[in-house]
């Protein structure tokens, strides 16, 4: 277990709601923010903030240095080069940027195949489906054949196609399954590999070079940092040739009435004033996580997951989704037979102080898969989702389990 001192950095966890201590099990939606990150960011806003890149005055140069330092740290973290790190507003924005730029650059053309899966978050699903309608490329879907929404490597091997693009999550936000990116890359050595790292990066160091990832997207609000800021890694070979997604200030070199030329990387993809505080705060969040240690954080989260899986095994009439093996990390989705997940989530909050998420988790295609595999009397097209992070403990899981048992009693399930 990680040191209990971590809890001091999250004062909100000592709040009580309706008489109960808060048990925050909704980190897959967004993590809490540690006080040291908030303090440093507040100091930046109070003492250094100005717009970046454009001016020669001291504050502008301090802000610019701090912003570029964040880029450098994220580049090191991913084993990438600084010019391959683009700051966006989040994973959703990053994936939209890639799809649109691939189309505009005529890298992705009519009749080309894009391979994705039925377990994706809508952020890595809707852009492909919609833009395939407009531009005529084809989207193929890998269907999870294993336990409740779990993908098998064989599901990919079955696809006898040569996709131009493979776009896949590294970690499902519903089933908690970690996907073996290395194996996927080996199956599709010539495809453009895009990894949705929104759930993966918060607890795992990824080396984009050794995994030969072409694009990696993630959101800083899921790794202790501010919201509205995301990191997009792109292999420079693609970024150099891709048409930008957003046009405007900062991304240009020469502008004339006939045409324009673009700035160098990464600025070519960063039109307009960036989210300066977000980028600086992203660096503080990364430093905080590095201090804890990514391996330690992951071990802690895996320990909690294993513990929760064992506890859930002994509860009747509760269906738990995902692999329930060593590839299962940090996220447990479940349903109690006959009780709607919104009711379960509401009661957990109201009576036990437990914050979990309920709904389709922006993964409607996966809800359809779960529905087809479910043994519940009626699958509600949604689930309850408990997710764990560095500030959670075994005790938090005990409180969740106690809550579920009580709710079952009240509903006589
Ligand atoms: N992909 C996955 C797997 C996610 O969990 C999320 C966030 N729920 C996203 C993409 C989208 O992230 P954001 O809303 O920060 O753009």
Listed by start position, the domains of the chain span 6-27+293-411, 37-291
- With 0.95 as the threshold, say if the pTM is over it: yes
3-state class (DSSP) for residue 376: coil
Q: What is the mean pLDDT of residues 309-318?
A: 95
Angle formed by the axes of helices 294-313 and 394-411, nearest 10°: 30
- CATH code assigned to 37-291: 3.40.640.10
pLDDT greater than 80 at residue 54: no
* Chain mean pLDDT for the chain: 97
Alpha carbon of 413 to ligand 1 centroid (Å) = 33
Q: Which of 55-64, 130-139, 247-256 has the lowest mean pLDDT?
A: 55-64
Look at ligand 1, atom 4, and give the residue with the nearest C-alpha.
198
Q: What is the mean pLDDT of residues 71-89?
A: 98
pLDDT greater than 90 at residue 314: no
Look at ligand 1, atom 5, and give the residue with the nearest C-alpha.
173
Could you tell me how many helices (H) and strands (E) the chain has, helices first?
Answer: 12, 17
Residue 4 has a pLDDT of 72
Alpha carbon of 91 to ligand 1 centroid (Å) = 6
- Give dist(CA 368, CA 355) in Å, integer: 25
pLDDT greater than 90 at residue 132: yes
As annotated, the active-site residues are: 362
- Confidence class of residue 280 from pLDDT cuts 50, 70 and 90? very high
Strands 23-24 and 20-21: unpaired
The closest alpha carbon to 230, from 97, 366, 65, 52, belongs to: 97
Alpha carbon of 198 to ligand 1 centroid (Å) = 5
Topology (CATH level 3) of domain 6-27+293-411: 3.90.1150
pLDDT greater than 90 at residue 2: no
Alpha carbon of 122 to ligand 1 centroid (Å) = 8
DSSP state of 381: S
pLDDT greater than 80 at residue 370: yes
Residue 3 has a pLDDT of 77
Q: Ligand 1 test: best mutation among 28, 31, 92, most atoms within 8 Å of CB?
A: 92
- At 24-43, the pLDDT tens digits run 999 999 999 999 999 999 99
List residues near ligand 1 (CB under 6 A).
90-92, 121, 123-124, 169, 173, 196, 198-199, 219, 362
- What atom in ligand 1 is closest to the CA of residue 227? 15
* Share of residues in the chain with pLDDT > 70 (%): 100
pLDDT greater than 80 at residue 1: no
């Amino acid at each position: 277990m990680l040191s209990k001192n971590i809890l001091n950095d999250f004062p909100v966890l000592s709040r009580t709601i309706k008489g109960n201590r808060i048990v925050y099990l909704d980190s897959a939606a967004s993590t809490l923010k540690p006080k040291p990150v908030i303090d440093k960011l507040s100091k930046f806003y109070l003492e250094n903030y100005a717009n970046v890149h454009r001016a020669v005055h001291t504050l502008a140069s301090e802000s610019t240095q701090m912003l570029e330092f964040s880029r450098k740290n994220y580049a090191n973290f991913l084993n990438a080069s600084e010019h391959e790190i683009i700051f966006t507003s989040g994973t959703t924005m990053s994936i939209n940027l890639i799809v649109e730029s691939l189309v505009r650059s005529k890298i992705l053309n009519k009749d080309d195949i894009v391979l994705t899966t039925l377990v994706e978050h809508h952020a890595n699903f809707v852009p492909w489906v919609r833009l395939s309608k407009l531009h005529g490329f084809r989207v193929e879907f890998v269907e999870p054949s294993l336990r409740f929404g779990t993908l098998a490597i064989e599901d990919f091997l079955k696809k006898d196609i040569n996709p131009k693009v493979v776009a896949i999550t590294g970690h499902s936000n519903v089933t908690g399954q970690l996907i073996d990116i290395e194996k996927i890359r080996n199956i599709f050595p010539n495809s453009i590999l895009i990894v949705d790292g929104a759930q993966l990066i918060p607890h795992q160091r990824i080396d984009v070079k050794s995994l030969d990832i072409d694009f990696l997207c993630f959101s800083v609000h899921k790794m202790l940092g501010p919201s509205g800021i995301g990191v997009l890694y792109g292999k420079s070979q693609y970024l150099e040739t891709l048409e930008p997604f957003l046009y405007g200030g900062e991304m240009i070199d020469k502008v004339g009435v006939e045409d324009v030329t673009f700035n160098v990387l990464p600025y070519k993809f960063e039109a307009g004033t960036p989210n300066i505080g977000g980028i600086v705060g992203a660096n503080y969040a990364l430093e905080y996580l590095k201090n804890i240690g990514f391996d330690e954080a992951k071990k802690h989260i895996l320990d909690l997951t294993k513990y929760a899986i064992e506890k859930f095994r002994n509860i009747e009439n509760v269906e738990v989704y995902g692999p329930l093996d060593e590839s299962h990390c940090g996220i447990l989705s479940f349903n109690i037979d006959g009780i709607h997940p919104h009711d379960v989530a509401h009661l957990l909050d109201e009576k036990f102080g437990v914050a979990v998420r309920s709904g389709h988790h922006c993964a409607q295609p996966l809800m359809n898969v779960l529905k087809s595999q479910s043994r519940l009397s009626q699958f509600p097209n949604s689930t309850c989702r408990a997710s764990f992070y560095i500030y959670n403990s075994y005790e938090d899981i005990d409180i969740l389990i106690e809550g579920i048992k009580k709710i079952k009693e009240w509903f006589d399930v």
